[in-house]
């Protein structure tokens, strides 16, 4: 059985709450276990939590979910780019799959609500990576 760590961004909570439910359901449906869930203020804060979870021997992969909604500036692009880069770094540095279930940038709140199922894709991707990657 694959054991997952789950990081959930709290910013845009009405959307990420739905994403968390979808992620937990996807894990259950796939026969995976969520070992621990860490809630962080926003997507930008997720890499530290993902790194801590990836250090745990019990965790096979980390799933990060969140939603970055566009505003009047390029802030959403900056947050998304930085988050994706650091999560990739965590995955490589810890030799642990870390999947990006963060929607955005460039989305309205309505578009983000339409993409809550991306959380399931992040769970599925984490499980697939664990099963496909050869042991080091």
| Catalytic annotation, pick one of 17, 25, 58, 75 | 75
Radius of gyration of the chain from its Cα atoms, rounded to whole angstroms: 14
Specify whether 75 is catalytic.
yes
- CA nearest to 43, candidates 110, 114, 96, 122: 122
Contacts of 76 (CB under 8 A, 6+ apart): 68, 69, 70, 104, 105, 106
Active site members: 75
């Amino acid at each position: 059985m694959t054991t997952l760590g789950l990081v959930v961004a709290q910013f845009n909570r009405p959307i990420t709450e739905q994403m968390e439910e979808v992620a937990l359901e996807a894990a259950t449906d796939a026969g995976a276990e969520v070992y621990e869930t860490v809630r962080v203020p926003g997507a930008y804060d997720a890499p530290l939590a993902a790194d801590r979870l990836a250090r745990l021997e019990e965790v096979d992969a980390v799933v990060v979910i969140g939603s970055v909604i566009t505003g009047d500036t390029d802030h959403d692009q900056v947050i998304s780019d930085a988050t994706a880069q650091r999560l990739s770094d965590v995955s490589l540095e810890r030799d642990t799959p870390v999947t990006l279930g963060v929607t955005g940038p460039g989305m309205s709140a309505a578009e983000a609500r339409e993409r809550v199922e991306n959380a399931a894709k992040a769970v599925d991707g984490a499980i697939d990576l664990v099963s496909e990657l050869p042991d080091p």
